[in-house]
Amino acid sequence: MKSHSLTRLAPALLLLLALWFILCRQLSGEWSANDQYSYGWFVPIFVLYLFWLRWETREEFRNADCGLRISKQQRALVIGAVVLALLILFPVRLFEVANPDWRPLGWVHAFAVIAITFVVIYLARGWAWVKHFSFPILFFLVAVPWISPIEEPIVQGLMRTVAAAATEAITLCGVPAQLEGNLIRVSTGLVGVNEACSGVRSLQTSLMIGLLFGELKRLSIGRRFALVFGALAIAVVANFARAFFLVWVAAHQGVSAVERWHDFAGYTIVGVVFGGSLLLAAALGKGGRRKAEGGIRPPTSDPPEDRFAVANLRPPTALPFILHPSSFILSLAWLLAVEIGVEGWYRAHERNLIPRSAWSVRAPENANGFRELKIDEAVRSTLRFDTGREVVWKTSDADAAGSSATNYLFFFRWNPGSSSVVRARAHRPDICLPSTGWKQIADHGMRTYLARDGIALPARHISFRKESGNAVVHTFFCLQEDKVHREEARPDLQMTGGAQPDWSLKARARMVRRGVRNLGQQVLEFALLNTRPIDDQAAEARFAALVREMVISESRK
C-alpha cells in the first residue's frame, strides 16, 4: 500500500518541483543583478528548512481531514483553481521572457505557484495541513522584489530621513554639514546621499530576518509582529549610524575615503541587523513558546466520545489524493508545452538574425588624472546591468595653450535574457543631462566610427551648454545589440528626438507580439568637457581617436 501511495504521490511532487524551479530561475536574475535582493539566493534554502521543521510536527494531526469526502462544488472549485493558475502561467511566461525585470510579473508568477502548492497539499491531507505548512510556503514571498511604486517611496523616504538626521547629528558634533537635496556638503566636498545611505536597502533583509527568527522561535503572532518591527527599527538606526560614520570620514579624510569604507559599513549593517534581531528573538522567546501556533492542530473541544466516533469514521488507509495521478501528469505536460511554446514563439522571430561584432572597452588607466567613479545607486537600480564601469581622466589640448579637457566614459553590458531591452535606452545624454542643468544646443545625428579589427560603431553626437554658464559638453552615445535582423528597420537603436523609454503595458505587449527579447546588448557613452569650447569636428575627431584606441574585439559565446 505504501508503494502504491508513493506512485500516486510522485507526479504531484514532480509538478511542484518543476513549478518552483521555473519560478526561482526567473527571479534569480534580480537576485544576481540587484544587491538589494541578493539574499534571495538563501530564501529557497530557508523555505525547505522551515518546511522540514513543520514536517517534523505533522504527527500531531496525521489523520486530520484525511479521507473526508468533498462535495462536487468543492471539487469543481479546487480543480478550477488549479486550471486557472496553470493557464495564467502561459501569458506570464510569454511576458517574462521579453520583460524579465518587470516586477509585477514576479508576483503574479509567485502567487500562481503558491496557489497550486496549497491545492496539492489540500488534496493530500486537507485544510489542517494547508494551515500547518502555510508559513514556510508564504515565506518565499520575501524573495520576490517589491514593485517600484511601493519600494521607491518607502526606501527613498527613509533615505532622506536618515540623511537629514545624520546631517543634524554631525553638525551638533562640531562638523559643519548641510543637506543639499540628495547631497551632504562638508568642508572637503559633497557626499552623495546614495553613497552614505544606500544601506537602507537592508530594509528588505531585516524583514526576512525578522520573519525567519520568529518562525524558528515559534513565537506567537503578536510577538512575531514585534520582532519584525524591531528588526526594521534596528536597520533604520544602523543606517543612521552608517551615514553618520561615512560623512564623518568624508569630513576628516576626504570624500575619496568614503569609497574605502563604503562596503565595510554596509556589511556591518547586515551583521548588526542579524545579531540584533537574534537577541530580540531570544528575548521575546523567553515569554513562553507558542503552543497553538507552532502548528495548526486538530480541535479538541469535542467530548472524548465524539472524537473517538469521528476517528472511527476516518479510514486510516485512505489514499493520499482525491484527484488521479494522471491529473498531475497532464499538468506537467502543460508546463512543458508552455516552456516549449514560449521558446518557439521567440525563436520563430529570431530566424533571420545576424550576429554583430563582439567588442569591449579598455579604459586608459595610465592617463593623467584617471580614476574610477562609483556608479550611482539610482542608476544601478534603473539600468540593472550585468557589468558596468564609469571612469574619468584628463587630457590637454595641443592646439590651444592652457586648454584641457575632462573625459567621462561609461560602458554598460547586459547579458542575454538578464533584463528588458528597454533598460539600455534609459541612460542617455539627452535624458540625463537636461535634468542636471544642461541645455541641448545641437543634435549632430548618427555617424559610424571605425575601431580596430574592422569593428564599426554607430554613435549619436549631441552637444549641450550649461544653463548657468558657457561651458559646452560634447556627448556620444552608442547602443549595440548582439544580434539584429538583416533587413528589419530599427529606429529605436538611433534614439532620435530624445525619446523616453516606454515602460507602459502597451509597449511591453508590443515587444511580446514582435518576439523581441534581450539577446545581449551594450552601451558606450562618452562625454568631452573642455575648459575652452571646441568645434563639432574637433570633438568628433577626438571620439574617433578614442574608439580606435580603446575599443577592442573580444570573443563571446
392 φ, ψ (degrees, to nearest 5) = -145, 145
The candidate with the shortest Cα–Cα distance to 433, out of 475, 392, 461, is 475
Q: What is the pLDDT along the chain (557 residues), one digit of tens a residue?
A: 455 556 677 888 999 999 999 999 999 988 887 778 889 999 999 999 999 999 988 765 555 555 456 677 877 888 888 899 999 999 999 999 988 888 999 999 999 999 999 999 888 888 888 999 999 999 999 999 998 888 878 877 787 888 888 889 989 988 888 887 667 888 887 776 665 455 555 788 889 999 999 999 999 999 999 999 999 999 888 888 888 888 898 888 888 788 788 778 878 888 888 999 999 999 998 865 544 444 444 444 444 444 333 334 344 334 445 567 788 899 999 999 999 999 999 999 888 888 888 899 999 988 898 988 888 777 887 888 889 999 999 987 655 555 688 999 999 999 888 777 778 777 888 888 887 788 889 888 889 999 988 899 999 999 998 877 778 899 999 999 888 876 555 555 555 555 556 667 888 888 898 888 888 899 999 999 987 778 889 999 999 999 999 999 887 66
Do residues 43 and 153 share a domain? no
Do residues 340 and 360 share a domain? no
Do residues 22 and 171 share a domain? no
What pTM does this model have? 0.79
Residue 421 belongs to a domain = yes
The candidate with the shortest Cα–Cα distance to 542, out of 454, 461, 438, 466, is 461
Q: What is the pLDDT of residue 355?
A: 86
Do residues 140 and 157 share a domain? no
Do residues 415 and 545 share a domain? yes
The candidate with the shortest Cα–Cα distance to 31, out of 100, 112, 122, 104, is 100
Do residues 223 and 192 share a domain? yes
Residue 278 belongs to a domain = yes
Residue 416 belongs to a domain = yes
Residue 305 belongs to a domain = no
Do residues 410 and 480 share a domain? yes
Residue 531 belongs to a domain = yes
Strands 359-361 and 551-553: antiparallel
Q: How many domains does the chain have?
A: 3
Residue 386 belongs to a domain = yes
The boundaries of the domain holding residue 270 are 148-285
Do residues 87 and 158 share a domain? no
Residue 26 belongs to a domain = yes
Do residues 91 and 162 share a domain? no
Do residues 140 and 173 share a domain? no
Q: Using the 3D structure, point to which of 265, 285, 305 is the last residue of a domain.
A: 285
Do residues 266 and 246 share a domain? yes
Cβ contact 155:144 at 8 Å: no
Residues 151-160 as b/e (b if ≥16 CB within 10 A, e otherwise) read beeebeebbb
Q: What is the pLDDT of residue 499?
A: 54
Do residues 182 and 323 share a domain? no
Residue 137 belongs to a domain = yes
Q: Using the 3D structure, point to which of 331, 348, 365 is the last residue of a domain.
A: 348
Which grid cell sits at 4? 502504491
